[in-house]
Amino acid sequence: MENEDGNQKQQMIVKHSAELEKSIAGFNAPLADFLNELKLPVDNILYPISERKKVINALDEALQVLSIPEREKAFYLTKFTVAVAVGLFDGALNYLWNETIQAIRTLIINFDLEYFFSVAEKVSSRNKSLNTEEDVEQISDHDLLEAARRIGLLSDVNHKRLDHINYMRNHLSAAHPNENEIDGFEILGWLSNCLKYAITAKPDHSTVSVKRLLENIRTIVVPTTDVPVIITDIARLPQERIDDLIWTLFGMFTDVRLIAQARTNIQSLCKGIWDATTEDRKYEIGSRYGVFRKNADVPRKDLAQDFLTIVSGLKYKDDDSLAGELIDKLDNLKTVHFSWNNFYNESPIAASLGDSLPPNGSVPRAARSHWVKVICICVVGNGLGYREGVDERAMQFYNHYLTLFTEAEIIDFLHLFNDPEFTSAFHLNKPDARLRKLAAYLGSKTTHVHIQKGLDLVINGPQNKLDRIAPTTEFKNVLQQLPKK
């Protein structure tokens, strides 16, 4: 009996000891008394000492990537370490993430601002009026990471690493109620990833080559004999980067302030780059002609006409200004979707999309691929919240828009599995289930054998691994056999 009482007493001591570790009272009794007087919570605030030790014991090794001079200036790491030692892991994560974002901003400012802002505008139309170093701070963390990936400052893999940390930082913050906890090894891994892939990162060779090309276009005469070599090198870049480069060159060409020499350089290069560009981006560029015309921006409209003439792209002109308007709204919706409180902010924007559709409900060709991407991202959701991980008030609009999908939109949907931004949440249970349900619905709208086969691969793919389906031989073969978009 005494042994039983002793065991129970020991268990109670261990339990209370563990609870005390997570209480302010175990850290600083006077502070706990003061908080109690203010009627503020003091329990379950701090992380256990055992988790703190995991980080502290391995911290020296994690910091080896930094030189001593770099460490001596790393105030954020001191704050990070103090927060960990105290047991405020969420605070430590905030310090780390703030420095990570600042490091990426510095990379961008030292790279090519005009190119970056051109790409950032394609990520979200909210960024279209930005152009200075100070403006970089106005870009949301999600858009900043995505634009940095697209210009090559972050690889796809490293972007996914950092995007995951941003996701965890947004949803494990002490500023918002949550029942999730951070493991000591987790925060140590995040520290290592932020140090390696952002804070001490350097652009790769192909990214530096694009930077040098843009500088040369602006400052020197590019010899015509060099043009074929330059085009060959550009054609080896990832498709997304080629598309963003032609968009940047188009923006430069239609800027009335551009010097004549730079415009001549673009004239020499743009046809070869245009030929390596996707149809979707060609239609987007063509739609800008209609936007300039609608806004009575005659100088830029005329320059857009000249550019499209040079690249033999006049057939891509879209005189319907609804396309440009719809793209802007879709960009706005996507930015809101990836921001905090998206479940409360998507609905009015989703409702307004219908106002930018033609009377027959057919989405303009220039906006179609973007339409499919944003609608499907919002329908699949981010896996958060207590229900389905989507803005349920907006679903009535998304469901209506899905009824407008034709085989062309379904083909666009299948091609989206090559898009890292589209697949970013597919490793989570709710998005995985909703994605399969969406694919099944789209399958009910077509009888095309190859489209059906592609949708079947999605529906029956490995659990929580549909973000990895695009590189498989079977899926690649299906995409090759689909009708041209």
pLDDT means per 10 residues, the chain with 485 residues, are: 49 41 55 69 75 87 89 89 86 91 93 94 88 94 94 91 88 53 87 92 85 94 94 93 96 95 96 95 90 89 94 80 83 88 85 84 89 97 80 94 96 95 92 96 96 97 94 95 84
Over 333-346, what HEC string results? HHHHHCCCCHHHHH
Say if residues 371 and 404 touch (Cβ distance below 8 Å): no
Q: Does residue 187 sit in the same domain as residue 223?
A: no
Q: Does residue 293 sit in the same domain as residue 420?
A: no
Say if residues 231 and 272 touch (Cβ distance below 8 Å): yes
Domain-located, residue 454: yes
pLDDT of amino acid 35: 65
Say if residues 420 and 470 touch (Cβ distance below 8 Å): no
Distance in angstroms (rounded) separating the CA atoms of residues 282 and 276? 10
pLDDT of amino acid 319: 55
Which residues, 6 or more positions from 451, have their beta carbon under 8 angstroms from its beta carbon? 407, 410, 411, 414, 443, 482
Q: Which of 171, 199, 227 is the last residue of a domain?
A: 199
Q: Does residue 101 sit in the same domain as residue 163?
A: yes
DSSP secondary-structure letter at 154? S
Nearest to 339 by CA among 144, 163, 101, 140: 140
Domain-located, residue 161: yes
Domain-located, residue 42: no
pLDDT of amino acid 7: 53
Q: Which of 286, 316, 346 is the last residue of a domain?
A: 316
Domain-located, residue 329: yes
Domain-located, residue 44: no
Tell me the residue range of the domain where 192 lies. Answer: 49-199
Distance in angstroms (rounded) separating the CA atoms of residues 310 and 306? 6
Q: What are the backbone angles phi and psi of residue 363, rounded to the nearest 5°? A: -70, 130
pLDDT of amino acid 34: 64
End-to-end CA distance of the chain: 79
Structure-block tokens of residue 261? 């020499």
Q: Does residue 236 sit in the same domain as residue 358?
A: no
- Number of domains making up the chain: 4
Say if residues 264 and 272 touch (Cβ distance below 8 Å): no
Burial classification of residue 97, based on how many CB atoms lie within 10 Å of its CB (0-12 exposed, 13-18 middle, 19 or more buried): buried
pTM of the model: 0.68
Q: Does residue 17 sit in the same domain as residue 72?
A: no
Q: Which of 316, 342, 375 is the last residue of a domain?
A: 316
Nearest to 185 by CA among 60, 52, 78, 76: 52
Over 357-425, what HEC string results? CCCCCCCCHHHHHHHHHHHHHHHHCCCCCCCCCCCCCCHHHHHHHHHCCCHHHHHHHHHHHHCCCCCCC
Nearest to 107 by CA among 161, 73, 151, 70: 151
Q: Does residue 414 sit in the same domain as residue 452?
A: yes
Say if residues 370 and 412 touch (Cβ distance below 8 Å): no
Q: Does residue 346 sit in the same domain as residue 288?
A: no
Q: Does residue 223 sit in the same domain as residue 309?
A: yes
Domain-located, residue 89: yes
Q: Does residue 336 sit in the same domain as residue 450?
A: yes
Q: Does residue 359 sit in the same domain as residue 463?
A: yes
Q: Does residue 212 sit in the same domain as residue 298?
A: yes
Nearest to 201 by CA among 142, 170, 159, 244: 159
Domain-located, residue 360: yes
Domain-located, residue 69: yes
Say if residues 249 and 270 touch (Cβ distance below 8 Å): yes
Nearest to 325 by CA among 369, 355, 304: 355
Q: Does residue 195 sit in the same domain as residue 210?
A: no
Residues in the chain, total: 485
- What is the distance, to the nearest Å, from the Cα of residue 227 to the centroid of all Cα atoms in its chain? 33
DSSP secondary-structure letter at 138? G
Structure-block tokens of residue 155? 């690889």
Amino acid identity of residue 95, one-letter, is Y
Which residues, 6 or more positions from 30, have their beta carbon under 8 angstroms from its beta carbon? none
Nearest to 285 by CA among 309, 263, 265, 269: 309
